[in-house]
Amino acid sequence: METIAHQVWIGAGKQVVYKAVTTAEGLSKWWIKDCTASPTVGFVNIFRMNGEVHDKMRVIDLKPDQYVEWECINDNGLWTGTHLSFEMSEKQGICKLNFKHSKWPQMTEFFTVCNFHWARHLLMLKAYCEMGDNQLFANEENKWGKMYQILNS
């Protein structure tokens, strides 16, 4: 099994980061704008693109202000069965976030693309937590979507 892993240092408390990775209000500012999410074990977070369900993530573990884990339960096979986790610790107002996207069956070209995009989105998470400003810009995200369509059709 393969794992994408990133560590991000965020100039905000872990409570801010926890809220950003567990609520629709937070997630819609750095990952996917159209989402339904709840910090509740068993809840299925839904992420939509162009009005269609793109990702479904079941919340399987929560430790407030410390740890979040989701299992991807998509029907599309790309991420199905993988796990995403966010582990937070704090020292003097700086949150250390350890992110993992684990249980990939193998390293593929798509895995490497996702690794890049997780780094990109985690930088947006950092900026959102530190500044409080929306980091998702429709034109920029649409460009990535168009490139994906061209390269994968």
* Domain boundaries along the sequence of the chain: 2-151
Q: Kindly report the pTM of this predicted structure.
A: 0.91
Q: What is the pLDDT of residue 152?
A: 67
Query: Predicted confidence band at 136 (pLDDT cuts at 50, 70, 90)?
Result: confident
Residue 97 has pLDDT above 80, yes or no: yes
* Dihedral sign for Cα atoms in the order 67, 101, 149, 73: negative
Class of the domain covering 2-151: alpha beta
Q: What is the pLDDT of residue 153?
A: 64
Amino acid at residue number 108:
T
Judge whether 96 and 9 are in contact, CB under 8 Å.
yes
Neighbours of 125 (CB within 10 A): 25
- Residue 63 burial by CB count (10 A; 0-12/13-18/19+): exposed, middle or buried? exposed
Residue 124: closest CA among 148, 141, 101: 141
Q: Whole-angstrom Cα distance, residue 71 to residue 80?
A: 8
